[in-house]
């Protein structure tokens, strides 16, 4: 997308947060040693009874997203995504296509190639590479924005597996009713996947209990957004939405005008991703302090 059609940085962060669409489960099993059952692990304060109830319900949707066996063998995803941006009067403001390569587990690893303007964004651990206009950028603002967008894409595609984390404050909101939708609220604090102060509701609908929408408050853009997911497709037991529609919203989740629309094509699930693409030749690396503890980017090479 050309610079003339790029929105303000904060709004862009909110928009692309919605349109990428699982870390690993954090709970540990008890084990037996010398005939004795080991004491249960010490859990963080967020793992109260409400978070436990939400965690238990989230475990039931894992089968829609590959199941434990397929998740264990999944290294990442490759796909093309086409975005269409709209103005307040529903006029299309721009359209562009990106190729995404996303790693499923571990410290952040993702590559974005924009086919319209040849922009390249690579995130690997605490290192980010950004190429625009034929040059590798070291501008802190440019790099920070590109990294934030990539991390949001990564978070959405790793769902629901990254929600199975006892360090997250989770709630059933509203309470679950048998055969009804499952809605889980997540409140993010410092050092977690999304900016501190983010409140997100992820809704899984019957009969399949695939993710149907994501509603959230973005403390960076200071606004409410609603992402609607449709056109489900499946491969190797993994479900993804082929169509994603982002709308403005309010705190009650009422949908507003369409802001951004996206379609995914040629989704590939891989058990061996090519690490070489995370080290572009001649690229200028920019190191950042990770929001959460993660291995140095050199571990990805």
Domain ranges for the chain: 13-23+45-300
Is residue 21 very low, low, confident or very high in pLDDT (cuts 50, 70, 90)?
very low
pLDDT of 38: 46
The β-bridge relationship of strands 32-33 and 223-235 is unpaired
Alpha-helical runs (H) found in the chain: 9-17, 49-59, 67-73, 140-158
pLDDT of 37: 47
User: For residue 24, is pLDDT > 60?
Assistant: no
Residues 113-166: tens digit of each pLDDT: 998 999 999 999 999 999 999 999 999 999 999 998 899 889 999 999 999 998
Q: Is the C-alpha dihedral spanning 229, 234, 237, 238 positive or negative?
A: negative
| C-alpha R_g of the chain | 19
Is residue 48 very low, low, confident or very high in pLDDT (cuts 50, 70, 90)?
low
Longest dimension (CA), the chain: 70
CB 270 within 8 Å of CB 276: no
Q: Which H or E run contains 210?
A: strand 210-218
User: For residue 18, is pLDDT > 50?
Assistant: no
Is residue 43 very low, low, confident or very high in pLDDT (cuts 50, 70, 90)?
low
pLDDT of 46: 56
Mean pLDDT calculated for residue range 4-29: 38
- The CATH architecture that domain 13-23+45-300 belongs to is Clam (2.50)
Residues 179-228: tens digit of each pLDDT: 999 999 999 999 888 889 999 999 999 999 999 999 999 998 899 999 99
Q: What angle do CA 57, 61, 63 make, to 5 degrees?
A: 140
Q: Distance between CA 135 and CA 149 in Å, rounded?
A: 19
pLDDT of 203: 97
């Amino acid at each position: 997308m050309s610079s003339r059609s790029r929105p303000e940085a904060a709004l862009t962060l909110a928009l692309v947060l919605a349109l990428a669409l699982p870390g690993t489960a954090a709970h540990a099993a008890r084990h037996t040693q010398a005939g004795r059952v080991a004491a249960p692990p010490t859990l963080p304060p967020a793992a109260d009874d409400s978070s436990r109830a939400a965690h238990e319900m989230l475990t039931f949707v894992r089968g829609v997203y590959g199941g434990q066996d397929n998740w264990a063998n999944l290294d990442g995803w490759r796909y093309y995504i086409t975005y269409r941006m709209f103005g307040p009067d529903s006029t299309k403001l721009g359209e562009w296509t990106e190729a995404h390569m996303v790693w499923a587990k571990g410290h952040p690893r993702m590559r974005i190639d924009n086919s319209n303007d040849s922009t390249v964004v690579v995130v690997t651990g605490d290192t980010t590479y950004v190429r625009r206009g034929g040059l590798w950028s070291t501008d802190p603002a440019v790099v920070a924005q590109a990294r934030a967008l990539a991390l949001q894409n990564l978070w959405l595609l790793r769902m629901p597996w990254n929600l199975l984390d006892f360090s997250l404050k989770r709630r059933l909101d509203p309470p679950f009713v048998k055969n009804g939708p499952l809605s889980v609220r997540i409140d993010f604090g410092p050092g977690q996947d999304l900016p501190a102060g983010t409140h997100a509701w992820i809704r899984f609908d019957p009969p399949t209990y695939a993710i149907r929408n994501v509603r959230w408050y973005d403390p960076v853009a200071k606004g409410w957004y609603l992402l609607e997911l449709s056109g489900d497709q499946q491969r190797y037991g993994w479900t993804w939405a082929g169509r994603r529609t982002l709308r403005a919203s309010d705190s009650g989740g009422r949908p507003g005008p369409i802001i951004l629309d996206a379609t995914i094509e040629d989704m590939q699930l891989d058990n061996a991703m090519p690490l070489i693409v995370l080290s572009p030749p001649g690229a200028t690396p920019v190191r950042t302090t990770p929001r959460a503890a993660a291995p140095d980017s050199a571990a990805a090479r």
